[in-house]
Each structure stands twice: as structure tokens, then as C-alpha cells.
Structure 1
């Protein structure tokens, strides 16, 4: 016997009543009256020619046939609900872009520019992950990444975003900072380092300062923490130009004497080479490549 569409309301009412063992509770769940649920169940019993519930003064209880049908109906409706839920999520995810990126770049470079993207594409939702560990671009993972490096990652397509440079910065409130006139004098101050591949030794060579004993008093795994330590007057940090802009603009940090050393690595937008970007992710990538790479707009 083929299942006809007009059986579905009766099966849904029966399944809810079987779960609750109570018509009134089933009615509340389904936004029906208890009499409507009872009507659906009796209609189903009439069509099947069996009793599905034993009715008694304290309520109802499933018969053996009712238990058999309840198990099948519960499984079937749960399967349908799961499919409907996944379809809704797929619809909702159609306009969501998952991005894995660097905390320091997100905080100082990307966030000030995102209002521009949102104004142009209000329907697109963004999820940003700034975990230190490199993300895996597997199913359910990020659509895009922004990474700092040489631009070559196995299995990934890499689009250059921008180059970078490094120079020393310190808080204008740091004691004695006003007396610093040359790069050699910076070597006498407490230095703040991060885990970047280019560091203070590289910069002092570029500044033609040799033979100094360098004291890297503080070392941070994240560039944002190094910049904030410098802003607190703990020492001198070697800032990346793209990261330093808001700190310099706000007056939290000032640039010290010496060259801006070109960075050996730049910033890249990356994604799996084997996978075509979804339209929303392609829209974000196109914007990312075209956005003004200069100073961020005022907040």
C-alpha cells in the first residue's frame, strides 16, 4: 500500500502522541487541540483496521501494533527532519564565508576595512578563525585563508595581497625614548620580539649596526601582544608596516630612527587548488584582492 500524502498529518499526530503517551501534550507540541490529535489517531486506526492505543482513565498506552508503527514513524520522521535541517543549513551556508587568518592582521588591517565589504555585500556572512595552528581545508573547513609567508604552500593556490616592511617602534611615554637619535642607541634599550622569521638581528644588520649585544627582554608568540607590550612602554618592538598603522595613527607608538627593512615574506590569500570557490567566497576574494592596501579608513 503506497503512502498517500493525506496520511502524513495523521502519522505526525500519532507519532507525537506515542512519544508523549498523552494527547494533550502532543497537541501542545503540534499547536493543535487534543480533540484534533484524537481525531487524527482514530482516522489512522480506522484506515489500518487496528487499535494503536489502549484508552483508560489515566490516559493512553500503545498497543503492540501501535508500538510497531510508533518505532517506524519516529525513525522516518527523524530522518526527514534531519534532511530538512541539513538543507536549511546548506541554504544558510550558501552566503557564509569561512576565513582562517592571522590575529594581528585581522585586528589591525582587516577589521577596519570590513565595513566597506559589508556595505557592498550585505547578504554575505563572514566567520573568521584566528587560531595559531594552520587550518586544514577539508570538508566543513575554511573557504579561504590569509597567510604570511613566501607564497608557496603545497596543494594551495596563493594570490599575493601585499608586501611588508619592518621598522622599530616604541611608546612615546617610554622613559628616555626622546633621547634616541640613531639605530645604535636602540640596541641599548629592552627589545621586544615575536616569532617572526625576520627579527632584530636582521634589522640591525640592515641599519649597519654591528657588534652590539642585543637584549630581547620579551618574546611573544603573537605580533599583537608584542605591539601592545611596546605600547605599554615595556620596550622597543620591530613592527610590520601593515600591522603598525593603527598604533601609529592613535599615538600609542612612534617610529624610531632607522630603515624600513623590506620583509622577505608577504601576505597571501590562499585556498585549495583542487576546489572551486563557492560564489560568496569568490566575491570575498575578489574584494580582498582589490581593496585599498594603504592606510585603513578611520574608525
Structure 2
């Protein structure tokens, strides 16, 4: 079925005339006659059923509808131009990868490592956008997404292909000052952590994650301990917010260790127990369709090499990972 869109030539003429407020300047920019520009814009106005320009003594002026249409059309023409340039330059092997990412993973884990992907694949430019909700691929806003969710959520994400990255394991952390306040005699392990029992940790204030209100109850029950008020405490949506609150002594939080390496290294946070919680969520790279593009294949292979360095330790392994 034919798409209900005007011709590309008429859109290009319209955008140029709108930018210059002149058919003459548009004709010079596009290397066609002024009458050709006028005909293309007339065809566009006939297609839309509205007037896009009004004539003035100094040329033409956009109508209100023309202003709105120009504002909406321009980014699509710019994007089409850039995608075409990428295709010509990289012959389909490079270009731009639009990636949706859950926020804390993006800022705490991915961005500090992304320069290594740039060195390995200078032909690919990665654009990131964050969201805590499942990403939609129908409008081609994203090429792929890194999403943290349950297997059930992934199974009910139609029309997508997923690549498992890693399990989300949570550790209990808080500020050293909070430990000193509640357990002044606690002895720190050689690795800079504590090994307090779940029954001892009942006495610490809790920090809750908004999207998982039963997480502390699950943690204590997993370790055969009944907490009298497992749902108490401040609630924050993101792990990054929880880590800030915890580092300022506001309570104890459950956070994936990989997302707080900097705080653990600087001593702003300490792990308070060796008892972990294997979360129900895992990290996946998700994209639409059943076949990965060369860009997604390269990015997926690089992600796996960063997460599991020993599994991609030479060129042969790396090339094999591209086909996974």
C-alpha cells in the first residue's frame, strides 16, 4: 500500500524555501529554477490541502501551518541525510546505533567503558537515551536497548530478539558512619567490607526501591530472618538515587555491586554482609526482528567481552561472538 506522504523533492524544496523565506534562494541552493521550486511547493500544498506560504513584498512568508510543518519535517530530512551519508561512507558496516538504556546502568557502568568501544569500532557512533520502562521499537526510535527485567517480561515482549548479558545480584550497602553508629565494635574484613548477620541488620534503617517494594522482605526471608518492618524507609526510583541516599547515612540499600564500584572504592559505601540476593531480574540487550544488524552484532560482542573478559580473549573468540 502506498504511504500517504508527499514526494521527497517537494519536501526538500519546501524546507529550503521555509528556511530562506524565499523561493529564489531555495532555487539557488538546490540548483533548480525558481519556477520548479514553486511547482513543487504548489504540489505539496495541493497534497496537504492547506497553504504553507503567503506572498509578501520581500518574498514569501510561512503561514502558521507552514511554520508547524517546517518544524516537524526538518529533523526527518536531516536524519535521512545523515543516514544516507553513513550508508555511503561505511557501506552498511558502520553508522549510528541508537541505544535505549536503563538510567543507572548507563551512567555507572556503560558510559565509563564506552570509550573502549569507540576505540575498537570508530566507524560506529552510539547515541544513548534512558528510560525505566520497556523500550518501543515500532517507531524506529531505537535500534536496540539494554533492559533490566524478568524472564517473564522478556518473554512477553513481542517481535524482539534478546541477548542475555548478566544476572542482577544485589548486595546490602550503607555508609561507614551508619555502621559506626549502630555497631561501633564491628570489625571490617580485609577487603573493606563487613559481614554482619541478617538478624543484626534488622537494626539499620532501610532504603526502598520504588519499583520493587518487597525487595527487603525477600532479602531477609531468603536468609531465614523475619524483619518486623521490611517495607519501612525512604523510597527512591533509581539505584543511583539509592546510592546517594545510602552514602549520606540515610539507610541501608540493596544495589547491584557493579553499579557502585566507585563508591565502594572511595569508601563512601561499604558492603555490610556477605549474604547476597540473586535478583529475579537480568540484563538483556534487546532489538526488533530476528536478525541482528552488523552494528548490533559488534556492540553485543563488545558488551559480552566487557562483562566476561575471559570468554573473549583473542581475535577468534571475538569474531565468533559477533555471530552469537
Specify the TM-score bucket, using the shorter chain as the normaliser.
Answer: 0.5 to 0.7
Structure 2 residues without counterparts, runs of 5 or longer: 1-12, 46-72, 88-94, 187-195, 310-324
Residues 26-175 of structure 1: matches in 2 within 5 Å? Answer: 30=28, 71-72=38-39, 87-92=80-85, 94=87, 95-151=95-151, 152-154=154-156, 155=158, 156-174=160-178
Match of 2:250? 234
Alpha-carbon displacement from aligned partner over 1:66-104 (angstroms, at most 9, x marks no partner): 98x6621655899xx989856522225651111111111
d(CA) in 2 for partners of 1:27, 1:137: 39
Decide whether aligned partners of structure 1 residues 164 and 134 sit closer, same or farther in structure 2, where only a CA change above 3 A counts: closer
d(CA) in 2 for partners of 1:27, 1:148: 51
Work out which of the two has the higher radius of gyration on C-alpha atoms and give 1 or 2.
1
Aligned residues of 1:169 and 1:256 also touching (Cα < 8 A)? yes
Aligned residues of 1:137 and 1:143 also touching (Cα < 8 A)? yes
Match of 1:201? 217
Alpha-carbon RMSD: 3.7
Decide whether aligned partners of structure 1 residues 178 and 188 sit closer, same or farther in structure 2, where only a CA change above 3 A counts: closer
d(CA) in 2 for partners of 1:131, 1:214: 28
Decide whether aligned partners of structure 1 residues 268 and 190 sit closer, same or farther in structure 2, where only a CA change above 3 A counts: same
d(CA) in 1 for partners of 2:139, 2:278: 37
d(CA) in 2 for partners of 1:153, 1:209: 33
Q: Offset at 1:206?
A: 2.2
TM-score normalised to structure 1 length = 0.68
Aligned residues of 2:202 and 2:227 also touching (Cα < 8 A)? no
Aligned residues of 1:190 and 1:215 also touching (Cα < 8 A)? no
Alignment pair present for 1:279 and 2:294: yes
d(CA) in 1 for partners of 2:214, 2:117: 32
Decide whether aligned partners of structure 1 residues 87 and 109 sit closer, same or farther in structure 2, where only a CA change above 3 A counts: closer
Number of aligned positions between the proteins: 241
Other structure's SS at 1:176 match: helix
Match of 2:204? 189
Aligned residues of 2:174 and 2:253 also touching (Cα < 8 A)? yes
Other structure's SS at 2:260 match: helix
Q: Offset at 1:29?
A: 9.4
Decide whether aligned partners of structure 1 residues 74 and 224 sit closer, same or farther in structure 2, where only a CA change above 3 A counts: same
